[in-house]
């Protein structure tokens, strides 16, 4: 395994992060336990979860994923071996069954307390805002709609104050963003610069893959200059970049087969790009999945690459991507495809 550090800290984390969003819908607790056991044995010490998980969200399954992790901690005693990240759900976008009060002080405190109880731990290493409260372009929206109704009032100072108090209490150690825009990232960073008693956002968990490299537009410069590390999610584009959906008969238990609404990476243009990436991998004797993950691993702004798997075979292949080195020829081939079909799946 290769390791990085959460920016501005001495916390050493694996460059491969174990994602957990399928646990409770596509994976049983026993399967989740097996994944955690194996990942830890392979040197993966960074796990990411959220109160919203499993995905797709469902009221009856609220926060089951966190419960699985907490039960594993209780069974194995491995809490001190894991750097643990979780998130508070924002309003709307699948979180309506959780709360409707956004990131108010009471909401954040209640969310942290709930996660701590389910995770059976006294602290969370990295606590993230799952998506913004305000109207902006995220979750597949390519541009910002300035005409959309937005009742949000700037509460970023209050959010950081609440997070500061939770850090002082020892319930969380550090904070980060998720599904955030360049404006939002800088707004949080500048607030903590002006008011130095407030915590600094250290990471940003956004989508990044061969099919969606929009992080490179704006956010990559912020990441590099401000040292806010990318935690890349959906590096396999919901499994599309394994090539398994290119067959005429899609795999029966695969994510997009089970949940066809998750079609962000399945447009005609995205499929065209996927076919070309599959051909490039084949020409160089590479697993398409490992090529896709290895590409993300090479990015200079990456802090950790969040993988997810529903089978042990997928998990092993994904973790092994850390040992795959892409040749200059492969990287040039990737750029050629990207330049011809840029960001087909925002």
pLDDT (average), residues 172-188: 97
Q: At what angle do helices 105-119 and 64-76 cross, to 10 degrees?
A: 40
What's the rounded Cα separation, in Å, for the pair 335 and 56? 32
Tell me the backbone φ, ψ of residue 102, rounded to 5 degrees. 60, -140
Q: Which class for 13: exposed (0-12), middle (13-18), buried (19 or more C-beta within 10 A)?
A: buried
Q: Tokens 């750029």 correspond to what residue?
A: 335
The two structure tokens encoding residue 156: 């970023």
Asked whether 4 and 229 are in contact (CB, 8 A), the reply is yes
Q: At what angle do helices 182-194 and 219-226 cross, to 10 degrees?
A: 30
Asked whether 319 and 311 are in contact (CB, 8 A), the reply is no
The chain-wide mean pLDDT, for the chain, equals: 95
Query: For residue 146, what pLDDT is reported?
Result: 77
Q: Is 38 a catalytic residue?
A: no
What's the rounded Cα separation, in Å, for the pair 237 and 277? 13
Q: Is the pLDDT of residue 151 over 90?
A: no
Catalytic residue among 3, 38, 53, 233: 53
Q: Is the pLDDT of residue 95 over 90?
A: no
pLDDT (average), residues 5-27: 98
Query: For residue 334, what pLDDT is reported?
Result: 98
**pTM of the predicted model as reported, rounded to 2 decimal places:** 0.96
- Find the range with the poorest average confidence among 92-96, 202-206, 328-332: 92-96
Q: Is the pLDDT of residue 256 over 80?
A: no
Asked whether 42 and 13 are in contact (CB, 8 A), the reply is no
CATH fold of 3-240+302-324 reads TIM Barrel (3.20.20)
Q: Is the pLDDT of residue 80 over 90?
A: yes
Judged by DSSP in three states, 194 sits in helix
User: Where is pLDDT greater, at 256 or 108?
Assistant: 108
- The percentage of residues in the chain with a pLDDT greater than 70, rounded to a whole number, is 99
Q: Is the pLDDT of residue 318 over 80?
A: yes
Torsional sign, CA 86, 307, 223, 57 = negative
Categorize the per-residue pLDDT at 135 as very low, low, confident or very high, splitting at 50, 70 and 90.
Answer: confident
What's the rounded Cα separation, in Å, for the pair 328 and 255? 32
pLDDT (average), residues 57-64: 96
Judged by DSSP in three states, 178 sits in strand
Query: For residue 289, what pLDDT is reported?
Result: 97
Query: For residue 5, what pLDDT is reported?
Result: 98
In sequence order, the β-bridge partners of residue 13 are 4
What's the rounded Cα separation, in Å, for the pair 174 and 12? 13
pLDDT (average), residues 289-293: 97
pLDDT tens digits for range 108-119: 999 999 999 999
| Among 6, 83, 5, CA closest to 40 | 83
Torsional sign, CA 321, 324, 330, 332 = positive
Asked whether 28 and 20 are in contact (CB, 8 A), the reply is no
What's the rounded Cα separation, in Å, for the pair 13 and 248? 40
């Amino acid at each position: 395994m290769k390791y990085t550090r959460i920016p501005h800290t001495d916390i050493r984390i694996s460059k491969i992060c174990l994602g957990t969003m399928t646990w409770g819908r596509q994976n049983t607790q026993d399967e989740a336990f097996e994944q955690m056991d194996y990942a830890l044995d392979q040197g993966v010490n960074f796990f990411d979860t959220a109160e919203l998980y499993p995905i797709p969200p469902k009221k009856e399954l609220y926060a089951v994923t966190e419960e699985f992790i907490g039960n594993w901690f209780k069974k194995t005693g491995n809490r001190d071996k894991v750097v643990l990240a979780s998130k508070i759900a924002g309003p709307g976008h699948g979180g309506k069954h959780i709360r409707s009060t956004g990131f108010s002080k009471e909401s954040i405190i209640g969310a942290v307390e709930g996660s701590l109880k389910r995770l059976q731990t006294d602290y969370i290493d990295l606590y993230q805002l799952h998506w913004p409260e305000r109207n902006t372009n995220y979750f597949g929206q390519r541009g910002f709609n300035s005409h959309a109704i937005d009742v949000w009032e700037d509460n970023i100072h209050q959010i950081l104050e609440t997070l500061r108090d939770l850090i002082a209490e020892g319930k969380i150690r550090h904070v980060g963003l998720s599904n955030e825009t360049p404006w939002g990232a800088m707004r949080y960073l500048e607030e903590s610069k002006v008011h130095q008693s407030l915590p600094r956002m250290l990471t940003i968990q956004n989508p990044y893959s061969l099919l969606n490299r929009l992080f490179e537009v704006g956010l990559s410069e912020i990441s590099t200059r401000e040292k806010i590390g990318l935690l890349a999610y959906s590096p396999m584009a919901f499994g599309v970049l394994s090539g398994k959906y290119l067959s005429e008969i899609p795999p029966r238990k695969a994510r997009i087969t089970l949940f066809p609404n998750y079609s962000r990476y399945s447009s005609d243009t995205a499929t065209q790009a996927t076919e070309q990436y599959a051909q490039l991998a084949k020409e160089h004797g590479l697993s398409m999945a490992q090529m896709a993950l290895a590409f993300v691993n090479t990015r200079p702004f990456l802090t950790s690459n969040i993988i997810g798997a529903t089978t042990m075979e997928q998990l092993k292949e994904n973790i092994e991507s850390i040992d795959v080195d892409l040749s200059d020829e492969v990287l040039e081939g990737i750029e050629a495809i990207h330049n011809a079909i840029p960001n087909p799946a925002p």
